[in-house]
Amino acid sequence: MNKLLKVNLKLMLRRKDTMICVIMSAVLALLEVLISKLNGSLDWFGMFEIPLIMMMFMSAVGGLFISRDYTQNTIRNKLTVGHKRSHIYLANQIAETVFFGVSLIIFFAVSSAANLIVIGAKGAAASDVLKNMTVCFFAVVAVSALTTFLAMTVKSAAGGVLPIIIMYPLLMFAAMSQEFGDSKWIQVMNDIIPLSQMTALAVPDKRAAIHIVYSLILTVFFITAGVVNFRKADLK
């Protein structure tokens, strides 16, 4: 699996779309600080609005990266030379997690540095900001697992489109859920869905532990389901 992972990571470094996403993470961090400063609304928790936007195009790019195995027929070559299906899936998943995770870390690093320069350490407790960052990171990992699952299940170029189709209604639900009142089931869904978790990070997250646990459960579920499904998939 190490060889597969190295190949995936090298391909990601060579692809323009993945590198653009990584660079855009830093650009978006600076734009968020600049726009918030001009609007007079700059605070430490404003940065957590941007990862929602990032998830949309990162899911599309991540899905396209995986779908290349099917469009270029390299998936059969990997099987022919003796790679196990579980190793192929896990190598793709790790590469996706690295892609999503590195982009998010760069965003937080640039945004934090800019906030320190512009407004300093005032306005938020470091523990609250770090806690929200942790919740966001695990939510993003769960989204990467969902992206891999969808792309490996579709087994076509649509692997880059389907994540967006799925993400959009989830994002709409997260945005509109506050209009549904204090329903217990709505609260549970908001706790479970990663994008809904991320919309709640504009303030210190009081349910951080629960959100992290749900993200871990979703990550394990999608990876397990994806491996099982891929091992049984007909690639003819």
Question: pLDDT per position in the chain (236 positions), as tens?
Answer: 788 888 888 888 888 989 999 999 999 999 998 888 888 778 888 899 899 888 888 988 888 888 887 777 787 778 778 888 899 999 999 999 999 999 999 999 999 999 888 887 676 788 899 999 999 999 999 999 999 999 888 776 666 677 777 877 877 777 776 666 567 778 888 889 998 889 889 889 999 999 999 999 999 999 999 999 888 877 65
When divided into structural domains, the chain yields a total of 1
Helix, strand, coil tally for the chain in percent (to 5)? 85, 0, 15
Contact yes or no for 149/165 (Cβ under 8 A): no
Number of H helices, E strands in the chain: 10, 0
DSSP-based three-state secondary structure for 125: coil
Rounded CA-CA distance 15/23 in Å is: 13
State the Cα–Cα distance between residues 69 and 55, nearest whole angstrom.
22
In the chain, the largest separation of any two C-alpha atoms, in whole Å, equals 59
State the residue range of the domain holding 78: 2-232
How would you class 85 by CB atoms within 10 Å of its CB: exposed for 0-12, middle for 13-18, buried for 19 or more? Answer: middle
